[in-house]
């Protein structure tokens, strides 16, 4: 894996600022033009960090005797949220109103009850893209490079259907700035893949954009104004820039080499489990899982995480693309 080009200095985890306090598994983060941040909240919804630093929690009622377990979240124009529910046994996508009302949006697809659900992404054409990482129970059985049973669901005017299957632990996805391709992180398949989006919403064959090596488990995914991609790697706390040609450079890393080697060995020996994700292996960062570009110039990087109660923020070397929700309140 290459080092950053000379004009892009490597970022220091020790220099990261902090935003928010007392957060609960802020795995996914959204930023808006107004300066608000919205974070997944494991207590059952979304926490909003206002520009003045105050916080508001929007928590919903229980689903099947369990509070919502938001992994991916999306902000809609009317102020409500979409929640990808990472339930203990079941998943689905739910709409959460700010007064706590919860309505199911999708619980089954193609005759399948949705397993714990990872991510939900609205696009500019009003469609929803949803990822499910694995069909394995427990999900840790999917933490293997030889398991590929994740999939992508599309909801559009025709309804909901699986449009890509057989993926190596499907994680965050994005529709590129031209609307031509769906890009998908395969965490334990260790690759960034893409699919051409056809006019009817169906997808072309999978193309591999980048493969990742030891210690990299791609999770979060964002695109910058140059058209390049930014990957957050769980466990190794890496922030990686991936060019459209697949070239990679690590801009940030915070991992203890010995512990990272131990996780890598467990992965190669098919022994990787929750304990490898639920233990902090960095000195400063707490298992970063996503990236949101924000700030007035879209050059502040807000890093979601699995284990911290605050967001690390870094000054990015390039601006991000404005997300679809950029002008939402």
- Residue 14: what pLDDT? 84
295-303 mean pLDDT: 98
Q: What percent of the chain has pLDDT over 90?
A: 91
Domain assignment present for 90: yes
| pLDDT above 60 for 3 | no
What average pLDDT does this structure show over 248-253? 95
pLDDT of residue 82: 98
Using alpha carbons, select from 178, 242, 190 the residue that is nearest to residue 219. Answer: 190
Domain that holds residue 250: 13-105+203-315
Q: What is the pLDDT of residue 11?
A: 83
Residue 265: inside a domain, yes or no?
A: yes
CB 92 within 8 A of CB 85: yes
Q: Buried b / exposed e across 154-177, counting CB within 10 Å, b at 16+?
A: bbbeeebeebbeebbbbbbbbbbe
Does the residue 51 lie in any domain?
Answer: yes
pLDDT tens-digit readout, 51-106: 999 999 999 999 889 999 999 999 999 999 999 999 988 999 999 999 999 999 99
User: The pTM is what?
Assistant: 0.96
* 323 within a domain of the structure (yes/no): no
Residue 6 has pLDDT above 50, yes or no: no
Phi, psi of 156, deg, nearest 5: -140, -160
Position 64 in a domain: yes
CATH assignment of the domain containing 75? 2.120.10.30
Q: Is the pLDDT of residue 139 over 70?
A: yes
On the question of pLDDT at 116 being above 80, the answer is: yes
Residue 329's pLDDT band, with cuts at 50, 70 and 90, is: confident
Q: What are phi and psi of 310, to 5 degrees?
A: -150, 165
Quote the number of domains for the chain. 1
Question: Which pLDDT band holds residue 281 (cuts at 50, 70, 90)?
Answer: confident
Residue 280 located in a structural domain: yes
Tell me, yes or no, whether 306 lies in a domain: yes
Q: How confident is the model at residue 9 (pLDDT cuts 50, 70, 90)?
A: low
Q: Is 327 a domain residue?
A: no
Q: What is the pLDDT of residue 64?
A: 86
């Amino acid at each position: 894996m290459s080092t950053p080009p000379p004009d892009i200095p490597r970022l220091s985890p020790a220099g990261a600022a902090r935003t928010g306090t007392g957060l609960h598994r802020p795995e996914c983060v959204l930023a808006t033009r107004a300066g608000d941040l919205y974070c997944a909240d494991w207590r059952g919804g979304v926490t909003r960090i206002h520009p003045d630093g105050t916080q508001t929690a929007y928590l919903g009622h229980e689903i099947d005797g369990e509070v919502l377990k938001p992994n991916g979240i999306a902000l809609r124009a009317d102020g409500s949220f979409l929640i990808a529910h990472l339930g203990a046994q079941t998943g689905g996508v739910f709409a959460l109103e700010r007064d706590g009302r919860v309505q199911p949006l999708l619980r089954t697809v193609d005759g399948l009850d949705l397993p714990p659900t990872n991510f939900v992404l609205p696009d500019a054409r009003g469609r929803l893209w949803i990822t499910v990482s694995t069909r394995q129970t427990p999900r840790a059985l999917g933490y293997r490079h030889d398991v590929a049973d994740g999939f992508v669901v599309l909801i559009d005017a025709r309804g909901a259907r699986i449009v890509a299957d057989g993926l190596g632990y499907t994680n965050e996805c994005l529709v590129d700035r031209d609307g031509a391709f769906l890009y998908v992180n395969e965490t334990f398949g260790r690759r960034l893949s893409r699919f051409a989006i056809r006019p009817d919403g169906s997808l072309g064959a999978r193309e591999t954009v980048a493969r990742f090596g030891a210690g990299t488990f791609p999770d979060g995914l964002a695109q910058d104004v140059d058209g390049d991609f930014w990957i957050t790697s769980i466990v190794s706390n890496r922030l990686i820039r991936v060019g459209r040609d697949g070239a990679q450079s690590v801009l940030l890393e915070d991992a203890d080499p010995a512990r990272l080697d131990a996780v890598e060995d467990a992965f190669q020996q098919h022994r990787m489990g929750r304990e490898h994700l639920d233990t902090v292996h960095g000195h400063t960062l707490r298992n970063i899982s996503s990236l949101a570009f924000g700030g007035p110039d879209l050059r502040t990087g807000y890093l979601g995480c699995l284990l911290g109660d605050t967001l690390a923020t870094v000054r990015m070397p390039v601006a991000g693309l404005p997300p679809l929700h950029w002008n939402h309140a």
